[in-house]
Amino acid sequence: MPLQGKAAQKPKTPSTDASPSNPLPATAPTAQPAPAITVAERTQQRTDESRPFEAVRRKSGLAALPDEDRAAWYACHFARSLPAKRTRLPPKFQRELWRAVNDAGLPLRPLPRTYSWGIDRSGQDVGRYPTPRFDERFAKRTRLTELVLQSKAFRERRDRLRSGSAEAGDIITDSDIQEERLRRSEMAKLKSELYGVVPEGGFATDPEWDDVLPLPVEEPEGALATISYPAEYATAISYLRAVMANKEYSARSLRLTETIIDMNPAHYTVWLYRASILLAMALPIPAELAWLNAVALEHLKNYQIWHHRHLLIDQHHPTLASDPAAAAALAASERDFLAQILAHDTKNYHVWSYRSYLVAKLNLFADPAELRAVDVLIDDDVRNNSAWSHRFFLVFSDPAASTPGAHATEHDPAVPQATVDREVAYAQEKIALAPQNQSPWNYLRGVLVKGGRELASVEGFAEGFVTGLEGKSGGKEDVRSTHALDLLAEIYAEKGDRERADLCLRRLGEKWDRIRVGYWEWRRKCLEV
C-alpha cells in the first residue's frame, strides 16, 4: 500500500522538510550553514515533521485547526487505525479515504515520540553527538558490518576446506591469511572505538588460530589466591591448554610458548611443553640456545631457564660426539655466556648449578679455561663462595683424578698429592688477603681432608693469625681470624693437646665469636669424649 507516495513531496505549509534536497528547517531564514545540532535535536525535528498538526492540537484542540486540516487529520488518523480495527469498509469508502489521505500529504506513520540512540564506549548518549560526528560513527559502523561479512565469508571458506567439503574456487593463500589478519585488526580497532570492546590477544584475532577452541581456566567459586589475569595472559593460557591437550607440536605452538614465557617465565608447565615441541619437531638446538640467552638476560632471577638449558645440552651433546672442535666451540660459547650472566649476579645459585652440570657433561674438569674463569671471579671478589665451591668441584670431582662417588668430606686416595699441594698453597695465598674470610678456610680444610693430610700440616700457618692467646706468650691477645682459631682447636685436639684446644674454643665463645657460644661450648664437650 502506498503510504507516503507523492504526498511526501508535497509538504503542507507548517511542516519543515529535512530531506536531503532541502536540509534546512523551513523556519531557517537564510542559506547559511546549519548551526551544529545534535542527533537528538535532528530527530526531534523529524518527529515534529511527521506530526504537523500535533503542536496546535495539543495546545488548542482540534477545533483550532482550519477545516481542511482538520479533515486531513481525521482522514489520516482513521486510516492509521484501520489495520487494528479489522473492519471491512465498502470499496468506495476506502477509495475516498485514501484519496483524502493522499491529498492531505501527511506522513501516514509518524515517527515515535521518543527515540534512544544508545550510549557510546564512554557512556555518553549518542543522541547528544553533533551530527557530523554522528555521521562519522555511522560510517564506521557500516565499515564494520562490511568487514564482519567478509570475515565470515573467509571463515566459512576455511571451514569448508577443513571439513573437506570445499567448493570450486575455495582456496586460501598466504595473502588471503594476511588480508584476513589486517581485516581483523581493523575490526578490533573499530569495535574498540565504537563499543569499547577490549581487543583480545593476538590469538583470538589471528586467523592462524581459528581452528583452536581455547580452554579458559575456570576457578571454582570462592577459590583462594586467585589472580586477576590480564586479558592477554588469560587468552594465551587458554590457547596453551588447548594445544597441550591436543599434543600439538607446531611452529605456532612454539611461538605461543614464547609469548607466555615473555609474560611469566616462572610458568614451569610452558617450559616443559616448549621442550617437548623442540624434541618432537627436531628443531635446531643452537638457535634455541641463542633465543634462551636473550630470555635469561631479561629474566635474571628465573630458574626454569636453567633446567631448559640443561635439557637442550642433553639433547645437543650426543650430536657433537664425533666433532671435538664443535664440542670445544660449544664449551667456549657457553663459558662466554655464563660470564655475561654472572656479571649481573656473581652468586646466582642456578647458574652455578648449571655450570657444574655443564662441566661434567662436556668433561671440562681439566680445561684450563674453566679454572681460569673461576680464578677471575675469585680475584674479583675473594669472598665469592660460589666460585670457591665450583673450584672444589673442578679439582676434586675430575673423574681422571678422583674416585667416583667419593664423599665430599672424606679422604680420596685417587687425588694426586701435587694437586693437594697446589690447592693448599692457593687457599693460603687467598687467606692472606683477608684472613676473616671463611670461604678459603673452608676450602683449605676441605682440601686437607680430601688429600688425607693431617690438619696439623697447616698449624704454623693458622697460628700466624692468632697471637698471645689469653696472655699465654706474654703479649696482648689478638685474633685476626676466628676461622684460624677454630681450625687450631681441631689441630690441637688432633694432636691430643686438649687443654690448648679447649682454650681456643673458650676464647671463641667468650670473646671472638660470641654469637656462636652454644656451638663452641658443645665443641668443648666434644673434647671430653
Partner 1 sequence: MRQRIKAAKRRARAVFRPRAAKMASNPTNTTTTTITNPGPPEAESEIDEEFVTESITYPRFMIPNLFTGPSPVVDVLETHTSNLQQETVKVCLPFLSAEDEKTKYNIHGVPNLYRKSHITFLRRSIGPMPAGFITADASRPWFLYWALTGLSIMGDDVSDLRQAVVDTARSMQNESGGFGGGGGQRSHLATTYAVVLSLAMVGGEEAFEVIDRRALWKWLSRLKQPDGGFQVCVGGEEDIRGAYTASVVITLLNLPLDLTQESPAYEADGSMNLLSGVPDYVRRCQTYEGGISGQPDSEAHGAYAFCALACLALLDDPRRIIPKYLDLPRLISWLSSRQYAPEAGFSGRTNKLVDGCYSHWVGGCFPLIEACLRPLDDSPPPAGDDATTPNPPRKPRLPPASESLFNREGLIRYILCCCQDQSRRGGLRDKPGKMSDSYHTCYVLSGLSSAQHQWDLTAPAPTLAAGAGDPVWTVLPYVDDGGVQVYEQEDLVRPIHPVYAIPQRSQEGMREYFLGKEGF
Nearest distance in Å: CB 513, partner 1: 8
Question: Could you tell me if 440 and 484 are in contact, meaning their C-beta atoms sit under 8 angstroms apart?
Answer: no
Q: Is 492 in the site for partner 1 (CB under 8 A)?
A: no
Select 12 or 516, whichever has its Cβ closest to partner 1: 516
Nearest distance in Å: CB 198, partner 1: 13
Q: Where would I find the H helices in 23-112? A: 39-49, 54-60, 67-85, 91-104
The region of 63-71, 76-84, 258-266, 320-328 touching partner 1 under the rule CB under 8 A is 258-266
Site for partner 1 in 194-223 (CB under 8 A): 215, 217-223
Collect all residues with Cβ–Cβ distance below 8 Å to 77 and sequence separation of at least 6: none
Largest CA distance in the chain: 144
Tell me the CB-side half-sphere exposure of residue 157, using CA atoms within 13 A: 16
Site for partner 1 in 326-365 (CB under 8 A): 346-347, 349, 352-353, 356-357, 360
Q: Where would I find the H helices in 317-437? A: 324-342, 349-362, 368-380, 385-396, 417-433
Nearest distance in Å: CB 278, partner 1: 12
Select 139 or 283, whichever has its Cβ closest to partner 1: 283
Site for partner 1 in 220-239 (CB under 8 A): 220-230, 233, 237
Nearest distance in Å: CB 469, partner 1: 11
Site for partner 1 in 65-84 (CB under 8 A): none
In degrees to the nearest 10, what's the CA dihedral of 444, 446, 450, 453? 50
Residue at grid coordinates 665469636 = 513
- Alpha-carbon distances of 251 from 54, 61, 181, 239, 351, rounded to whole Å: 69, 78, 18, 14, 29
Site for partner 1 in 374-393 (CB under 8 A): 380-386, 389-390, 392-393
If binding means CB under 8 A, how many residues of this protein chain bind partner 1?
Answer: 97
Nearest distance in Å: CB 528, partner 1: 7
**Grid coordinates belonging to 5:** 507516495
Site for partner 1 in 403-442 (CB under 8 A): 405, 407-410, 433-439, 442
The region of 123-131, 361-369, 401-409, 418-426 touching partner 1 under the rule CB under 8 A is 401-409
Nearest distance in Å: CB 211, partner 1: 20
- Taking CA 308 as the corner, what is the angle to CA 385 and CA 295, rounded to the nearest 5 degrees? 80
Nearest distance in Å: CB 507, partner 1: 8
